[in-house]
């Protein structure tokens, strides 16, 4: 779900409890649509993360540290100039709209104290962060909006800041319950959730659906609701108001049967409990970190790797085309053999063959003496025609061998490039993208841009998880890590897992000399499915073998291994609980 006005009201209070009175210590912009403010008080510091891009616009305290660009953007430098050292004076919300204001007590260029405000608009694709002066004039914004993008609301420096168009809805915190019910009853032909959405400010479709379910265990038309249902609706609205006023929200997110994230809210989503699992967190910032960080990391990595995705995709297409062309050039064995037979039959019958004809009729003793018509060059005699066919036969044999080698090499390269593509789809950080880029340079698929001294890249450690019985489960994030894990880190008696016949991570269950237990094997196999190109299937065949049986062929590509002693298990994908430092 997107953050609605009610959720924003709850998290505003959580943020204000620490932020009001805090000093802005540091300011970063990991991407053009993300802003991180490090706020410091006498008791410690927290990172306020603001995102207005992609699928997860939000504002919350975070324990996750996004990677920052080597050179800060110009807007980041301007924000540092204006807000660095400022104190948070207040955090407020415009009614129950999805706009949060952070007021700062800052200093201008000559040291005078001035008021500055960050307006954080959480409105799906229209989300924005706007810096305002004390006259409510725009100083700058993460997204500048000119007349070509909006005809009624421009967001540009030195333009007055205007609120989005107001909606004719009632504020749950200000209106009486009777007024709320009266407004809802005006939409008698609508389903209750739709009527709530049209009547109450700050309510999202998810919140409206949950309220309707709590009242009726369904979503009937308003006109069909009994007096008892209307009474229950009034009680639910009163309870919801109390949650907002008293801060008694209960952060909740839901997952499907495979552990996939579905939705989140500031209160339990009971209407989903028949088909989803409900999980709870201590506060809303933890909830947003758990729900959004993985998606944001993937999105951020994909933005950083956009050119690499394109390059690898082009390499895959080019390699596949080369393989097809070479397969078309490869003559069938029977066609090659016909050339040898033609040459041999001409030599056998050379004394009786005439000159100046364009074909010979010869008895083929390889085919029960059936007559074989052999086309020849009239200007050449029988001997030279035989030599010509022998030459073509030898040339075809050589071409067959060379093309077969080229096809085999192309198939290997194609399989390798698909493993790189798979690693790119699962890369969660810029460091992983850098490793994959370096891997492609080392294997000769990319050229190094810099001609100066090259700093040796140190391969990061594999991802570390823990099995049900407490054993380490190590996961390679790319092919360089896969090689390091399988041949340097893993012990010879540890167990190695990999999805069968598909790109994926090497997974090692570090048994430390103990026998492998079923629960640990099932977990490691499920992790291998999750970190593979067949994750979306939910289930897949996984090979596993002791590490001592792995072999690395000479001159093979990174991540390639062979093994002949193994067992196979059909495993469900296991979604890992990743820590922020992972």
Residue 337: per-residue pLDDT: 87
Mean per-residue pLDDT, 30-36: 90
Residue 582: per-residue pLDDT: 46
Residue 374: per-residue pLDDT: 87
Confidence of residue 201 (pLDDT cuts 50, 70, 90): very high
Residue 506: per-residue pLDDT: 96
Mean per-residue pLDDT, 401-418: 89
Mean per-residue pLDDT, 315-321: 92
Confidence of residue 504 (pLDDT cuts 50, 70, 90): very high
Mean per-residue pLDDT, 375-399: 89
* Domains annotated on the chain, with CATH: 5-141 (2.30.310.10), 333-411 (no CATH), 463-572 (no CATH)
Handedness of CA 118, 119, 121, 122 (dihedral sign): positive
What is 123-142 written as a DSSP string? -GGG-EEEEE-TTSBEEEES
Mean per-residue pLDDT, 516-525: 95
Question: What is the rounded CA–CA span in Å between residue 306 and residue 312?
Answer: 10
Mean per-residue pLDDT, 450-457: 56
Lowest mean pLDDT among 76-90, 230-244, 453-467: 453-467
**Which backbone phi and psi does 40 adopt, to 5 degrees?**
-120, 135
> Percent of the chain having pLDDT more than 90?
56
Ramachandran category for residue 40: left, alpha or beta (phi over 0 → left; psi -120 to 50 → alpha): beta
Confidence of residue 19 (pLDDT cuts 50, 70, 90): very high
Residue 298: per-residue pLDDT: 60
Residue 581: per-residue pLDDT: 42
CB 474 within 8 A of CB 505: no
* Three-class SS of 562-575: ECCCCEEEEEECCC
Question: 582 or 556: which carries more pLDDT confidence?
Answer: 556
Please check the confidence at residue 455 and state whether its pLDDT lies above 60. Answer: no
Tens-place pLDDT, residues 122-180: 988 889 999 999 999 999 999 998 877 776 788 999 999 988 888 889 999 999 999 99
Question: What is the rounded CA–CA span in Å between residue 137 and residue 131?
Answer: 8
Confidence of residue 490 (pLDDT cuts 50, 70, 90): very high
Please check the confidence at residue 388 and state whether its pLDDT lies above 60. Answer: yes
Confidence of residue 537 (pLDDT cuts 50, 70, 90): confident
Q: What token pair was written down for 486? A: 């399988």
Question: What is the rounded CA–CA span in Å between residue 465 and residue 474?
Answer: 6
CA-atom Rg of the chain in angstroms: 34
Greatest alpha-carbon span in the chain: 116
Tell me what the pLDDT averaged over the chain comes to.
89
Question: What is the rounded CA–CA span in Å between residue 299 and residue 312?
Answer: 18
Lowest mean pLDDT among 109-118, 158-167, 222-231, 252-261: 252-261
Lowest mean pLDDT among 5-19, 350-364, 479-493: 350-364
Confidence of residue 336 (pLDDT cuts 50, 70, 90): confident
Residue 580: per-residue pLDDT: 41
Mean per-residue pLDDT, 433-452: 80
């Amino acid at each position: 779900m997107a953050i609605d006005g009610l959720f924003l009201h709850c998290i505003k209070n959580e943020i204000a409890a620490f932020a009001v009175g805090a000093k802005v210590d540091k300011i970063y912009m990991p991407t053009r649509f993300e802003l991180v403010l490090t706020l410091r008080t006498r008791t410690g510091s927290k990172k306020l993360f603001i995102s207005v891009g992609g699928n997860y616009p939000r504002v919350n305290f975070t324990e996750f540290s996004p990677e920052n660009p080597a050179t800060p953007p110009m807007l980041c430098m301007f924000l540092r100039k204006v807000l660095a050292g400022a104190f948070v004076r207040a955090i407020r919300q415009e009614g129950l709209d999805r706009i949060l204001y952070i007021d700062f007590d800052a200093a201008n260029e000559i040291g005078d104290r001035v008021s500055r405000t960050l307006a954080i608009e959480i409105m799906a694709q229209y989300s924005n962060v706007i810096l305002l002066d004390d006259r409510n004039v725009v100083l700058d914004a993460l997204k500048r909006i000119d007349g070509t993008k909006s005809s009624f609301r421009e967001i540009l420096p030195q333009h007055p800041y205007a609120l989005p168009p107001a909606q004719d809805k009632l504020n749950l915190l200000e209106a009486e319950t009777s007024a709320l019910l009266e407004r809802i009853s005006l939409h008698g032909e609508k389903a209750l959730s739709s009527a709530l959405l049209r009547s109450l400010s700050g309510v999202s479709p998810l919140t409206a659906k949950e309220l309707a379910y709590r009242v009726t265990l369904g979503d009937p038309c308003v006109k069909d609701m009994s007096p008892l249902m209307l009474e229950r609706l009034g009680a639910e609205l009163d309870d919801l108001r109390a949650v907002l006023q008293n801060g008694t929200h209960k952060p909740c997110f839901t997952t499907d049967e495979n552990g996939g994230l579905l939705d989140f809210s500031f209160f339990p989503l009971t209407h989903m409990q028949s088909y989803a699992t409900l999980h709870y967190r201590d506060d809303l910032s933890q909830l947003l970190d758990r729900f959004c960080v993985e998606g944001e990391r993937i999105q951020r990595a994909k933005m950083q790797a956009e050119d690499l995705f394109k390059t690898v995709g082009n390499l895959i297409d080019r390699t596949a085309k080369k393989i097809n062309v070479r397969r078309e050039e490869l003559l069938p064995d029977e066609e090659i053999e016909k050339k040898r037979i033609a040459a041999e039959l001409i030599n056998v019958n050379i004394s009786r063959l005439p000159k100046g004809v364009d074909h010979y009729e010869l008895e083929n003793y390889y085919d029960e003496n059936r007559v074989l018509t052999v086309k020849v060059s009239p200007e050449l005699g029988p001997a030279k025609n035989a030599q010509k066919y022998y030459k073509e036969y030898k040339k075809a044999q050589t071409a067959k061998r060379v093309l077969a080698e080229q096809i085999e090499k192309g198939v290997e390269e194609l399989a390798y490039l698909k493993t790189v593509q798979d690693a790119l789809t699962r890369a969660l950080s810029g460091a992983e993208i850098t490793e994959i880029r370096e891997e492609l340079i080392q294997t000769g698929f990319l050229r190094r841009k810099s001609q100066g001294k090259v700093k040796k890249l140190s391969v990061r450690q594999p991802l570390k998880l823990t099995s049900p019985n407490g054993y380490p489960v190590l996961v390679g994030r790319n092919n360089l890590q896969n090689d390091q894990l399988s041949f340097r880190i893993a012990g010879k008696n540890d167990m190695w897992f990999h999805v069968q016949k598909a790109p994926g991570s090497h997974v090692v269950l570090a048994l430390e000399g103990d026998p492998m237990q079923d629960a640990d094997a099932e977990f490691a196999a499920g992790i291998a499915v999750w970190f593979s190109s067949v994750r979306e299937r939910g289930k897949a065949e996984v090979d596993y073998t002791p590490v001592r049986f792995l072999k690395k062929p000479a001159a093979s590509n990174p991540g390639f291994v062979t093994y002949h002693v193994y067992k196979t298990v059909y495993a469900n994908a296991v979604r890992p609980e990743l820590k922020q430092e992972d």
